[in-house]
Every structure is written in C-alpha cells, then in structure tokens.
Amino acid sequence: MCTSKRQMRLGAFIMATGHHIAAWRHPEAQADAGLNIDHYRELAQTAERGKFDLVFVADSPAGWDRAKDHEALRRTAQGAHFEPLTLWAALSQVTKHIGFVATASTTYEDPYLLARRFASLDYISKGRAAWNVVTTGADVSKNFSIAGHPAHADRYERAEEFVDLVKGLWDSYEDDAFIRDKESGVYLDPDKVHLVDHKGKFFSVAGPLNVGRPVQGYPVIVQAGASEPGRELAARTAEMIFTANQTFEDAQEFYSDVKGRLARYGRRPDELLISPGIFPVLGGTEAEAQANYDHIQSLVHPSIAWNILARHYKGIDLSGYSLDDPAPPLPENTELNKSRLKLVSDLVSRNNLTLRQFYLAVATARGHRTVVGTPEQIADAMQSWFENGAADAFNIMPPILPTALTDFVDQVVPILRKRGLFRHEYEGTTLRENLGLQRPPNGFVVQARQQQVQAVV
Amino acid sequence: MCTSKRQMRLGAFIMATGHHIAAWRHPEAQADAGLNIDHYRELAQTAERGKFDLVFVADSPAGWDRAKDHEALRRTAQGAHFEPLTLWAALSQVTKHIGFVATASTTYEDPYLLARRFASLDYISKGRAAWNVVTTGADVSKNFSIAGHPAHADRYERAEEFVDLVKGLWDSYEDDAFIRDKESGVYLDPDKVHLVDHKGKFFSVAGPLNVGRPVQGYPVIVQAGASEPGRELAARTAEMIFTANQTFEDAQEFYSDVKGRLARYGRRPDELLISPGIFPVLGGTEAEAQANYDHIQSLVHPSIAWNILARHYKGIDLSGYSLDDPAPPLPENTELNKSRLKLVSDLVSRNNLTLRQFYLAVATARGHRTVVGTPEQIADAMQSWFENGAADAFNIMPPILPTALTDFVDQVVPILRKRGLFRHEYEGTTLRENLGLQRPPNGFVVQARQQQVQAVV
C-alpha cells in the first residue's frame, strides 16, 4: 500500500430509485425514493461510510406534462423529486464529511437568490457545498413567464456572467470582516464589506450579499457541459467536470483537451478534476454480473422502449421497424443537446446496434460508461482510466438504489483502497480540502492588493 | 387541569443573537449566531422540548451597504445570516415535531422555484413547512436587475396572484396519483397530473411542478401585513397572521377586524390563527426582571441610538436635541411601512416618550409588545389576551439567544400548561395537525367534482 500516490476521488451520483430507467421495478429498489427523505439519508450515510468525496444530484426546473410525456410519467419514477438545495441542507445535518453537489441553472435561477442559498448551504454544512453549474438544455421557459428558451450561445454567455456575479456576491464580506467584540460593541468592520455593483449584459446587481463569505471561500464549482463553449467555460471557471465518455479514447481526448485549455486562464492542470460517470453492474462472478444486468434490462416495459426510441428519432417514422432491426442513423433535430447527441450517435455507429440494443444502452445509463463485472473488474476499469490520463475521479451511477451503492461501497471501495488508489480516512474537514482544491482568495482583496502594488511601482 | 379548553399556540421567532438590537453584546448571547448552525439547532431543539408549534424567521433578500448603513453594520449583528429554506431543511433532520415558518417574498422570488422549494421542504420535514408570505416593504430592487421597487398596491396584487399560482402548482399531482406497482410497471396515473396553465397579470406558468403534492396539501400559509390590503389578503389566503400590537385595545381591534373579514371568503373564524409578537423579559422577581431589562438596554451604543432615531426621523434635523428631550412627532416619509409607522407613532404619542425612551422602545422589540416581569406575570399577560379576543397564539421574541428561549421554555411554559392553556404533548405529526388546521383539498379535484355536479344538475 502506498499512500503518497495520486488519489482517486469518488462521487455518488444519486438518482432516486437508481440510474436504470426501470430501476424502480427492481425488488431491491425503494419505489417512492424521489420524495423519501429517509432513503436519501441512507444513501448519503452509505456514501460517507465509503469515504466518498461527494454526493451529486441532477436537476431541471420542470415537471413532465401528461399530454406530451404520458408513457414516461406512467412508467418511470423520475417525474417528482426533491429540490437539490433543500435536500442537501437536510442531509448535511446527518453526515459530517461528505460534500454535496447541487445542480442549479444559470438560465432559470436568479443570481442573488442562488448565491445566498449556496452560501447558506456552505455554512450549514460547514464547508461541504458545491454547485453544478448548468445552463439547462431543455426548454422549460413555459414555467418562467419569459418569451422562450434562450439559444445555446446565449445560455453560455449568460452562464459566464452569472458565475462571475455570484462569485462577486460571495466576496461581499472579507474573511476577517467579523470582529464581534462584546466589550467595545464593534460587530464588524464595515470597510471589509463590499458592493459587487455588477452591471452586465444580463444582470444589474448591487449587493452586498446578506450572508458571510462561504466557509470554502466559494462552494466548489462543478460543470457538466461537453460542447465547445461548455469546455471553455469549464476551463475558465470549473474545479470539477462531470463528463460522459463511453470509450477510453474519447475520455482521454476530453481529458487532455480540457486540461490543455487551463493554461490560457493561468490555471494548473490539477485545479480542475475530471470525473467521468460510470454505471457499474456488479456480480460475484462475471456470469452473475451479466445475469443481474439482464434482469434489470428485462424490467424495461416495451412501451417505454418505443418511447425512448421516439425521443431519439424525432420526426422519423419507426412504425415499419422491429426492435431487432439495425438502428438507423440518429437525426440531428432531437431534444438532445449536441454533446449528448454525439455520444449516442457514436454508440449506434460504433457497435452496429439493433434498435433493442440501442434503447437498452440508453436505458442503462443515458450514454454513460457501463461496466458489467466482478468487483475486481470494476476496480480495474476505473484504475486503467485513472492511471492513463482519462480521469481524476469517478461519478458512480448505481443502477438500483439503495442496494447498488451499498454493494459498491462494500465490494469495490476496499479493492481501490488496497491498491492505494483511494483514501482510508477523510483528509480535511471541507469538500475543497478533501478534493485537494485550494480555497480561493477574496476577489476584492486581490484587486486592492494589485492596486497597492501598482501604486508603489 | 382541563385539556378540552381552547389551546394556545406558540411560535419561537428566532432572530440570530436575539431580538434586542444590542443582544449580541450580552454575555449570554451567541455572538456569531447568524451563521452558526449549531446555535440554531439548539434553538429548534429547545423550542421542541417546550412543545412549541413552530419556529419562525424573518427575511429580506438584501444585505447592508457599508456606505449607507455604516453604524448598523458596525454595531449590530443583523447583516449576515442563513437563508430560511436551507436553514429549516437542515433543522428538520434534527427535530421531529416542530414546524418551520420560512419568510419569502412574492416581490423578489420566482413562483415556480419557490413552490418547488416549499414542497420539497414539506416532504423533507414530513409535513412541517409553512410559508410567511411577505411583499418586502424595503426597496431591494438593486439586487434584482429590475427597474425599481413596485408600489404597495402592485406588490399586494402580485402577492395575491403569486399565492394562487403557487397553490395551483402544489396541486400538480393529485394525492393518490402515485401507484408504484412494480409488477405491472405502472408508476403513476398520468390523468392525476395537472398543468396549472396560469396566465395572469404578472405571471405565465404552465407547470406541472416536479414535486408531488406536499404532505400537508399546502404548507401552512402565514402572513404579517397589517395594512388594509394586507388584512384583506390575509383574510382570503392566510392561516396564521403574525402581528404587532402594543396594547390590548389595538390587538382586540385587529383580531376582530380580521376575523370579521373571513366570512366573505367562505371561511370560519378558526381557519385563521392570530399570533401577536411578544418580547418577554424574565426575572425571578419583578425587580430582577427590571434589572435584566435595564442591563440589556444599557448595551445599546450611543451611535446606534442616534442611528435608530435618524432612520425614524428621516429628513428632520435632530442635532439640536438631547436624548432626554421629548420625542417630536414622526414624519410620514420614513422607510417604515404604513402599519409599522402607525405602531411607532402611537407609541410616541401615547406615552409622551423622550427620544431616549423612544429609541429604547424600538431597540427592544421593534414595536412589538414588551412584557417585563416574573414567569407568572408573563403568563398572565398572555392569558389575558388569549382569553379576551386578542390572540390565538403568540410569537415569542426572546431578547437574547439562546438563553431567553431556554428560560421561557423552562419557566413560562410550565405555568401555561398548569393553567390548561398549552399542550403537554404534540397532538399530530404535521404542523397543520398541531395547529388544528385542516388539510386543504386539491383544487383540480374540487373543480372536477363541481363540474360533475353541474353536469348531473
């Protein structure tokens, strides 16, 4: 065992009943998971027992319309679930170490209110908050009294301004602003409170925030976009990227491309951790793992199969096809975002899939890497990417919850640990410390120092 | 002891270091309270030990500007604190019975996002969420990329539409929409999912919400406005009003006025609970209570005294005055809202206060009723209002936290209980049940039933 080796980071990507689209039907799944706080409590505590760095939830501010998404509503468990910030605030009180990544949209949230909530979560959790910055690919404008969904480029431009503004608001109070001297009656030094006075293309916000500077300086910034502007935004602002790659070559290309972009923003490669998703299907033997995989695949109802296909083949008549026909090329005009479209298109063409194989591949892990095997084989699959420039971390996507997370913690984590790849104990008290990320200095303080230096020169 | 008597409800209005403006300087105060989660945890658990119905926090989405509010920032503890929804989500996991009232603004929040967060909190807390609906009196538009602060009448009109819309979103899923039958693969009945399809003056929102119908149907709706449109909005939509009354006569007038408005909305008087604030200063004897009061008043720094006076006498030159001169009449053009202005104006004229007495009265409890005395005297003061048509409940405003809440629970609550006025155990599992409020039916279901009846007729 060698503990000075570079260490792998682990996230548990929690999706209510599990990542498989039919997970909720599995005998081991918690069918009401999306709105069952005791279930999420168990998941966070299991992940913490495994010394995971973080738990992660996806999010979109919209529900499913019964007219348009009838079968998806009827047969999947994904329509109703907790809002991430309230969920993580709750779970921070029943855990001590694990970090919390909440997904929130720069297209549909308000920057002042969101900055406050993340700052509040960071205090409540004593420095364990992270924000997965998304621009929301799907059009959910119907819920927000606005004219329509902004185009891709506009969303990224807005995201950039939004993140900068939020960081400015988090800097409202300098770290040592609070004096709290009961004797003299001085509570804080007003000279250490700043207005952000932001006037940009999308926002005009004065500030200051009404929360102190977050425990971590800023909550950890996570991103998930893989498009060109997504990669660039990540290189400039993200500290962790959650990514979807099927093959080692794709993962390596993504890894080296994004790491290569950091220098132009004055950043070192280790200031941004790259975390591919992985969907592990475990078994005591290979045959057992395969049987577990086949079992859960068998739970996909045929109407959901055709529903998945229809969503991917929008505008194409599939009525002449059977599920065992080869999958035709995917059209461009789907509801998928570009990077997701490329991922599934590659999947189809690379493996010459039938329509059945295609919907099963999508049902499994929505385009993420699937590994079916023994605990040793899962560990091997992770180690090879980790040691060959394709990953710094992994976002584990358990097929069925809670059991597949428990199995991973009990069966795979000990192997990673034995190989010296993963921690025995948490290193720090904040998420940032555990991830090996630095606490950012206050932008106003940095600026003032630069002005002083210039004045002296 | 008579337990069939009408029962008093109790809320703990929690304000970081305590309600007195100089509370943080008191030796017993937790000086960093605003951002100390362990402190709030202790408060919620203390209130629950006392079988309080609820804890309550005020809120405004703005911080203090060091240029404009220099002395307030420098000498008070109120500039930085938790955001209510994340705070209550956290504390719901370390309590079992107590309800959580979060203040949130219909002027500055988004209805879809807020509906989600409250629904999420209601699930997380297993039915203990409440929303204190405020329109935000102070102009905080500078933080929200909008042209300016809406006028009073516009804010109330918007509030009305906002609350109706949020209730509609909470009704997105019927209570029995979820089937979750693993065998047949039917997760829910799509016919029991509704679009709110709201198109109003201020908002256009389709829905559905992506959270199930809240455990309580709707979180309990609380309001605090005392203006004419505030009273009317409360009569139409609120289930509890938090009010500020100095005198029994005012409290009784308010109580009978608001209760009298309910009938025109088809509501019974017991569907709306009226809860005046009370600022109790306790002592083992009257003399001790007075000494405690004098001690905390002595902690107000002179510069804060003049700061308080300047805010109330905006536009009036007080430089010729000493603190022992009689307080002149208050001007109309303060930053105070109308009902608050009336309250403090009455205070000045009723008692012929000096400027010192005036600022001390405001510093104490911001216009709320102050009672200085023994535990028996505090209980008497509450009982007389409760039994004579001036209150159904009280929002207890402890001068210093955490100790003044602990003292109230240990010294006053047992007396109320002995007199048969207050519970020994929680009656129900949800806040609604403990408050004796009915669970509202789903609006879509009610509408459909009405249409059926009309069709038959």
Rg (CA), chain A: 23
**Exposure string over B402-433, b if 16+ CB within 10 A, otherwise e:** bbbbbbbbebbbebbbebebbbeebeeebbbb
Query: Is residue A282 very low, low, confident or very high in pLDDT (cuts 50, 70, 90)?
Result: very high
CB A303 within 8 A of CB A71: yes
Is residue A412 within 8 Å of residue A289, measured between CB atoms?
Answer: no
Please determine, for residue A457, whether its predicted confidence score (pLDDT) is greater than 90. Answer: no
Q: Which helix (H) or strand (E) holds B179?
A: strand B178-181
Helix axes A111-124, A84-92, angle to 10 degrees: 20
Interface ipTM: 0.95
Residues of B in contact with A25 (CB under 8 A): 182, 185
Could you give the residue ranges of the DSSP H alpha helices within A208-335?
Answer: 228-237, 248-261, 286-298, 302-312
Could you give the CA distance from residue A114 to residue A132 in angstroms, rounded to a whole number? Answer: 12
Both tokens assigned to B446: 């009610």
**Mean pLDDT, range A398-408, rounded to an integer:** 98
In this predicted structure, what is the pLDDT of residue A1?
44
- The answer to whether the CB of A134 falls within 8 A of the CB of A438 is no
Of residues B76 and B89, more confidently modeled: B89
Quick check: B361 pLDDT over 90?
no
Distances (CA, A) of A117 to A35, A69, A130, A363, B119: 21, 31, 11, 33, 16
Closest by Cβ to B62, choosing from A144, A178, A210: A210
Q: What is the mean pLDDT of residues B135-157?
A: 94
Tokens representing A58? 């996806």
- Containing A99, the helix (H) or strand (E) segment is strand A99-105
In our burial notation (b when 16+ CB lie closer than 10 A, e otherwise), range B332-343 reads: eebebbebbbbb
List the single residue in A with minimal CA-CA distance to B105: A113
Q: Which domains does chain A have, with CATH numbers?
A: 9-288+369-456 (3.20.20.30)
The answer to whether the CB of B29 falls within 8 A of the CB of B23 is yes
Q: Give the nearest partner residue to A145 out of B94, B182, B203, using CB atoms.
A: B203
Torsional class of A425: left (φ above 0), alpha (ψ -120 to 50), beta (otherwise)? beta
Q: What is the pLDDT of residues A364-387, one digit of tens each?
A: 777 789 999 999 999 999 999 999
CA–CA separation, B249 and B256 (whole Å): 11
The pLDDT tens digits of the residues spanning A113-166 come to: 999 999 999 999 999 999 999 999 899 999 999 999 999 999 999 999 999 999
CA distances from A48 to A153, A406, A413 (A): 38, 11, 12
Q: Which of residues 34-73 of A touch B (CB under 8 A)?
A: 34-35, 37, 41, 60-66, 70, 73
Judge contact between B124 and A37, C-beta under 8 A: yes
Q: What is the rounded (10 degree) CA torsion for B403, B407, B410, B411?
A: 180
* Distance in Å from the first CA to the final CA of chain A: 52
Q: Both tokens of residue B16? A: 């970081």
Backbone angles phi, psi at B54, to 5 degrees: -160, 160
How many angstroms separate the CA of residue A154 from the nearest CA in chain B? 17
Residues of A in contact with B173 (CB under 8 A): 80
B455 Cβ under 8 Å from any chain A Cβ? no
State how far residue B201 is from chain A, nearest Cα, in angstroms: 10
Lookup: tokens for A20:
């498989």
B21: which residues sit within 8 A by CB, 6+ positions away?
B76, B300, B304, B308, B363, B364
Average pLDDT estimate for A439-453: 94
Q: Is any Cβ of chain A less than 8 angstroms from the Cβ of B85? A: yes
Which of A39, A60, A65, A120 to mutate to probe the B interface, most B CBs <10 Å?
A120
Mean pLDDT, all residues of chain A: 93
Contacts of B7 (CB under 8 A, 6+ apart): B421, B422, B423, B436
Q: How far A118 CA sits from the closest chain B CA (Å)?
A: 9
Give the span between the Cα atoms of A73 and A88, in whole angstroms.
25
Rg (CA), chain B: 23
Q: Is the sign of the CA dihedral A35, A38, A42, A48 positive or negative?
A: positive
- What's the rounded Cα separation, in Å, for the pair A268 and A79? 40
CA within 13 Å, CB half, A409: 20
Burial (CB < 10 A; 0-12, 13-18, 19+), residue B25, is buried
At B341 the pLDDT is 79
Task: Give me the pLDDT at residue B335, please.
Answer: 64
Q: What residues of chain B, 294 to 323, have a C-beta less than 8 Å from chain A?
A: 299, 301
CA B282 to chain centre: 23
CA B262 and chain centroid, separation: 20
Closest CA to B209 of B110, B98, B296: B110
Q: Are strands B9-13 and B393-396 parallel, antiparallel or unpaired?
A: parallel
Kindly report, residue by residue over A287-316, the tens digit of the pLDDT: 999 999 999 999 998 888 888 888 888 888
Tell me: pLDDT of B2 over 50.
no
Given the structure tokens 């039916």, which residue do they identify?
A: B441
Beta partners for residue A11, in sequence order: A54, A395
Bond into B399 cis (ω within 30): no
Q: DSSP letter at B77?
A: S
Inform me whether the pLDDT recorded for B18 exceeds 80: yes
Q: Which two tokens stand for residue A344?
A: 């599934």
Helix (H) / strand (E) element for A243: namely strand A240-243
Dmax (CA) for chain A in angstroms is 83
Asked whether the beta carbons of B24 and B80 are under 8 A apart, the reply is no
pLDDT value of position A315: 85
Find chain A residues with C-beta within 8 A of B79's C-beta.
188, 193, 210
- Could you tell me if A75 and B78 are in contact, meaning their C-beta atoms sit under 8 angstroms apart? no
For B245-270, the pLDDT digits (tens) are 989 999 999 999 999 999 999 999 99
Distance of residue A385 Cα from the nearest chain B Cα, in angstroms: 36
Cis peptide before A402 (omega within 30 of 0): yes
